[in-house]
Structure 1
Amino acid sequence: MRRRTAALMAAPLLLAVACGGAEDADVGAGVTATEELEEVTVGVIPTVDVAPLYLGEEKGFFADQGIDLTFEAGRGGATIVPGVINGQYDIGFSNMVSLLQAAEQELPLELVGSGVASTGVPGADFAAVVVLPSSGITDAAGLADKRIAVNTRNNIGTTTVNESIRTAGADPSGVEYVEVPFPDMPEALADGDVDAIAVVEPYLTMATADGAVVVASNLVDAVPGLTVAAYFTSRELATEEPDLVERFTIALEQSLQYASQHGDEARAVLRYYMETEIDQAVLRSMTLPAWPTEFDRSSVQRLADLAIEDGLLTEEPDLDALLP
């Protein structure tokens, strides 16, 4: 998927100025038009989760490491994992349940960096389960036996929502999970196609702005500060081009740190890659996730335990082998 491309300054500068103003006009400084960058294709989910990657590309962090990112949108981690294995993507972004399942199947993948984490604050996280006020559902216990939209069934959405219901003292076994892409969730809820949606930003704020109410913070209910997702590559690429992977990881960590410290710029960059037009008011009020550079091992262990309880994994994973 990779190829050498000339480093052009104009496009990054246009977006940098649009996002941050004249003070950002030195983006990409040090990269000349005659230097070549190695193109790396990344499979991502078009949500707030991956804002640091786009921001890091525009700030020149990847160019500084000789990398030009190409983004391709996938529906969820369950589809991005095979995309990395078959060479469609050089790097992938996926939730931890998909990666735990891949490890159990002994798929040739290697994690290269942390992706996104929960804020750990109930009612103030970037992910939540919301319902219409007319539904009569007032808490997570009321979600039992309902139709709930998740972006991918039998994955992190289902097992964390199940835990919200269990924590509230109810039985999640009767829940019917329906696959709906994140951008379509607010409309599916409004149209009555589902009783609730397990949604992430910015679609969470879009839904609540239209009157939906939060009844569960499913990621927080699973474990505060949950490591939700990570970036990964194929074992083949990691073995054959370790220098490239190392350079990507360096730029990724810079991007995560920068986004964590510059929330306004992270919000602004969403408007340039989201599949849905985002109102400025939504950008201002939406909750940003945490973007740590390190994995929270204990939270991954807890997530694995929940996945085993829900039948998404059959045995205890080897976290020493999975986590960097």
Structure 2
Amino acid sequence: MKHLSRGAFALAAVLALSACGSGSPSGDADGEPAEDDTAQADGELTEVEVGVIPIVDVASIYLGQQEGIFEEHGIDLTLTLAQGGAAIVPAVQSGDFDFGFSNVTSLLVAEDSGLPLQMVAPGPQTTGDSENDFSAVMVKSDSGIESVEDLEGKRVAVNTLNNIFDSMISEGVLEAGGDPGNVDFVEVGFPDMLAQLEADNVDAISAVDPFAALADADGYDRIFAPFADVVEELGVGTYFTSQQLVEEDPELVESFSTAMQESQAYAEENPDAVREVLQEYTEIDEATLAEIAIPTFPEEINLDSLEAVAEISERHGLIGEVPEIDDVVWEGAR
């Protein structure tokens, strides 16, 4: 349909970025380090690769890289794009990535499965505004789906299965008096969701910005805010690493965590910079950038929120039991 042309173009561009990964925004057009990146050449920086997702959630780490925060803490940072936290987890565990970004549910599922991972720095937190959060469950305007309880018996796209969307949507359906077991979650990458919804391959999509803003512009309806409507001050994601790295190089973990905290603070204080840096790892137009909802970027992991997410994850069978916070959150981040 004609109204999808602009959004589809932008999504295709993001998908291409997802396939090839991302280098430093401070580098030149050929991916080579900028002229002032002399520390790496002198061997003073530790090379660190972090797996991230092409969504607004990770804007703070891109800003930290762009503003030289990681260099100040001795880190030569490479950011590599992936489909979702559930895909990043095994890459961190295997050592392909030193650190990664993931939604907290995927990390709880990984911990419950016996993977020794540690959350080491905060990520985004919901705005708490149901009408203008950076995530939404979205449907066609003529779908007949008007609220979260209408998702029973429907196919709902999530970027990866057993993640924060599964759990928050399931809890929303339960709170509305429905049976979340009757929701059919389908794994679809963020860049592909709008096309799948338009083709009626799914009935609803779990969108985050910039994709939610693109869907808004193309006339789709928001029927539920999974991050804002379920857990107060929901901490959506965190940066994490393997227990092995924590034990083998605690100084690097400390440096990364501190740099992330400073990057979070910078993002919180500079929302316009958040919008601008999105152009480094997505391809969206200026009009859409202006409509994006900016997350809150706290400097600490929200432990109360994490506990609530763990309880919800247990209730819906994503994990066997609620873990001790000390088992999943690095001591320096508690």
TM-score by length of 2: 0.85
Give the gaps of 5 or more residues in structure 2.
1-23, 30-34
- Does the Cα contact within 8 Å between 2:73 and 2:259 map onto a contact in 1? yes
Q: Which amino acid aligns with 2:326?
A: D
Question: What SS does the aligned partner of 2:130 have?
Answer: coil
Instruction: Report the equivalent of 1:38.
Output: 46
Shift of 1:114: 0.7
1:300 and 2:309 are equivalent in the alignment: no
Give CA-to-partner distance per residue, 1:72-128, whole Å, 9 cap, x none: 112211111111111100011111111112222332222210111111221221111
Q: 2:220 aligns with which of 212, 217, 228?
A: 212
- Distance, in Å, in 2 between the alignment partners of 1:257 and 1:29 is 23
- Does the Cα contact within 8 Å between 2:167 and 2:313 map onto a contact in 1? yes
- Distance, in Å, in 2 between the alignment partners of 1:66 and 1:168 is 49
Shift of 1:29: 9.7
- Does the Cα contact within 8 Å between 1:97 and 1:303 map onto a contact in 2? yes
Question: What SS does the aligned partner of 2:69 have?
Answer: coil
Q: Which amino acid aligns with 1:113?
A: A
Q: 1:317 aligns with which of 314, 323, 330?
A: 323
Instruction: Report the equivalent of 2:194.
Output: 186
- Distance, in Å, in 2 between the alignment partners of 1:308 and 1:49 is 25
1:198 and 2:212 are equivalent in the alignment: no
Instruction: Report the equivalent of 1:258.
Output: 266
Aligned-CA RMSD value? 2.1
Q: Percent same amino acid at aligned positions? A: 43
- Does the Cα contact within 8 Å between 1:126 and 1:200 map onto a contact in 2? yes
Instruction: Report the equivalent of 1:24.
Output: none
- Does the Cα contact within 8 Å between 1:97 and 1:156 map onto a contact in 2? yes
Shift of 1:13: 7.5
- Does the Cα contact within 8 Å between 1:164 and 1:217 map onto a contact in 2? no
1:137 and 2:145 are equivalent in the alignment: yes
- Does the Cα contact within 8 Å between 1:37 and 1:63 map onto a contact in 2? yes
Q: Which amino acid aligns with 2:296?
A: A
Query: What does 1:13-162 align with in structure 2 at a 5 Å threshold?
Result: 34=42, 36-162=44-170
1:12 and 2:12 are equivalent in the alignment: no
Q: 1:172 aligns with which of 176, 180, 200?
A: 180
Q: Which amino acid aligns with 1:70?
A: T
Question: What SS does the aligned partner of 2:90 have?
Answer: helix
Give CA-to-partner distance per residue, 1:192-214, whole Å, 9 cap, x none: 21110011111001011100010
- Distance, in Å, in 1 between the alignment partners of 2:291 and 2:36 is 30
Residue 79 and residue 33 in structure 1: after superposition, are their counterparts in 2 closer, same or farther (change >3 A)? closer
Paired positions, count: 302
- Distance, in Å, in 1 between the alignment partners of 2:50 and 2:133 is 26
Give the gaps of 5 or more residues in structure 1.
1-9, 16-26
Shift of 1:33: 6.6
- Distance, in Å, in 1 between the alignment partners of 2:148 and 2:119 is 33
Residue 109 and residue 137 in structure 1: after superposition, are their counterparts in 2 closer, same or farther (change >3 A)? same
Shift of 1:191: 2.0
Q: 1:288 aligns with which of 276, 279, 294?
A: 294
- Distance, in Å, in 2 between the alignment partners of 1:248 and 1:273 is 21
Residue 32 and residue 110 in structure 1: after superposition, are their counterparts in 2 closer, same or farther (change >3 A)? closer
Residue 171 and residue 28 in structure 1: after superposition, are their counterparts in 2 closer, same or farther (change >3 A)? farther
- Does the Cα contact within 8 Å between 2:119 and 2:239 map onto a contact in 1? yes
- Distance, in Å, in 2 between the alignment partners of 1:14 and 1:30 is 14
Give CA-to-partner distance per residue, 1:220-262, whole Å, 9 cap, x none: 2220211111111112211121111111111111110001111
